[in-house]
Homo-oligomer: A and B are copies of this chain.
């Protein structure tokens, strides 16, 4: 018999439930799980940072909240641990060069000064993307050294809207490759 645990009880350690998946087993699961593509920027006072993430998702529209996660190994982790605000760029297939820039290690992601600007509030924002949204960080949760961030949407710019019923040019990352959605990929 299983018993129901109350949510106020502390979470049990994973070993109480049996073995943990290996890193290879876990990667094989998620290699086949596609994701939308975003670039997240911030500046907590020590200069701008940017990284490409496939973990951005909407939590609720009222209040307007989203989440994403950041690996402790990301070069942007220290800034995102301190930033009060972030800018989440929601990319489409036209933004593929920016997605690749934010996913490339060891490069200056702000070297092309014509590609970005600062908002009046100071955050770096890349020009010409499908959409961006400036957010206030409202919560952080540690998860095995990585950080899950919840953020409240304050201000946005939508350059390329998606028509109702039209598939647009969405960008998806899947199995280490990039895909474009459209009428050609629609199944229902």
**Complex Cα spacing A76 to B121, Å:** 39
Counting contact residues on chain A (CB < 8 A from B), the size range is: 35 or more
How many copies of this chain are found per oligomer?
2
**Complex Cα spacing A5 to B96, Å:** 32
Contacting pair A23 B64 (CB below 8 A) = yes
A29: chain B residues within 8 A (beta carbon): 90, 131, 133, 153, 156, 158
Q: Residue A187 at the B interface, CB < 8 A?
A: yes
A172: chain B residues within 8 A (beta carbon): 34, 170, 172, 181, 185
Least Cβ–Cβ distance between A46 and chain B, in angstroms:
7
Q: Residue A162 at the B interface, CB < 8 A?
A: yes
Contacting pair B34 A55 (CB below 8 A) = no
Option from B146, B170, B187 in Cβ contact (under 8 Å) with A96: B187
Option from B31, B67, B130, B141 in Cβ contact (under 8 Å) with A162: B31
**Complex Cα spacing A32 to B81, Å:** 28
**Complex Cα spacing A121 to B6, Å:** 18
Option from B4, B17, B171 in Cβ contact (under 8 Å) with A136: B17
